[in-house]
Amino acid sequence: MSKNVVIVLAHPLNDSLCAHLAALATATIVQAGHSPRLVDLYAHGFDPRLTGRERKTYYADEYDSSAIAADKADLLTADVLVLVFPTWWFGLPAILKGWIDRLFVPGVAYDHAPDFGRMIPRLTKLRACLVVTTLGSPWWIDRFVMFRPVRRVLSRAIIGTCAPQASFSMLSLYETERLSAERLTAFERRLVRALRRLLCP
Instruction: Please name the residues in contact with 1: beta carbons below 8 A apart, sequence gap of 6 or more.
Output: 201
Q: What sign does the CA torsion over 35, 3, 169, 162 have?
A: positive
Q: What is the pTM of this model?
A: 0.96
Instruction: Per-residue pLDDT tens, the chain, 201 aa: give them.
Output: 789 999 999 999 999 999 999 999 999 999 999 989 999 999 999 999 999 999 999 999 899 999 999 999 999 999 999 999 999 999 999 999 999 999 999 999 999 998 888 899 999 999 999 999 999 999 999 999 999 999 999 999 999 999 999 999 999 999 999 999 999 999 999 999 999 999 986
Query: DSSP string spanning 57-122?
Result: TTTSSS---GGGHHHHHHHHH-SEEEEEEE-BTTB--HHHHHHHHHHS-BTTTEE--TTS-S-EE-
Task: Give the number of domains in the chain.
Answer: 1
User: What is the average pLDDT value for the chain, to the nearest integer?
Assistant: 95
Q: What is the CATH number of the domain that holds 148?
A: 3.40.50.360
Domain with 80, as residue range(s), is 5-199
CA distances from 162 to 25, 64, 108, 123, 158 (A): 24, 18, 9, 6, 6
